[in-house]
Amino acid sequence: MADVNRGNRPLSPHLQVYRPQLNSVTSILTRITGNALIVAALMIVWWLLAASTGEDYFAVANGFVTSWFGDLVMFLSLWALWYHTLAGIRHLIWDEAKMLELEKAEPLGWAVVIGSVVLTVFSVVVLW
């Protein structure tokens, strides 16, 4: 039976009530980057299959992959790869029951975020 005195409060915490924390945001971002990497991998597989199919089909795929949108997808995929790798290392550390305290977990989260950006920029500079 519903409580008529509950007023205008939500049934459970949601984004209007709950303030996201670094650890929750980085955890969600780990899942998003993992799924985004699947999309990027499919794009690369499409490009490789097109290369083995014929010139006309390869021209279409290559035009897409080398377009500004394809370049953006590849750049973000490079960042996602570094982010997902560092987040995986963070989870391996947590699996060993280390750095679980908030005062240690939060800097570890920042290390994942900052490290992924630094490694992406470094990779672009080296590969350019």
* Separation between Cα atoms, residue 50 and residue 59, nearest integer Å: 8
Sign of CA dihedral 77, 83, 85, 87: negative
Coil vs helix vs strand at 96:
coil
Are residues 93 and 108 in contact, defined by beta-carbon separation less than 8 angstroms?
yes
Q: Does residue 14 have a known ligand-binding role?
A: no
Query: How far is the C-alpha of 23 from the C-alpha of 57, rounded, in Å?
Result: 44
Instruction: Report how far residue 68's alpha carbon sits from residue 46's, in angstroms, rounded to the nearest whole number.
Output: 17
CB 82 within 8 A of CB 115: yes
- What residues form the annotated binding site? 84
- What residues form the annotated binding site for heme? 84
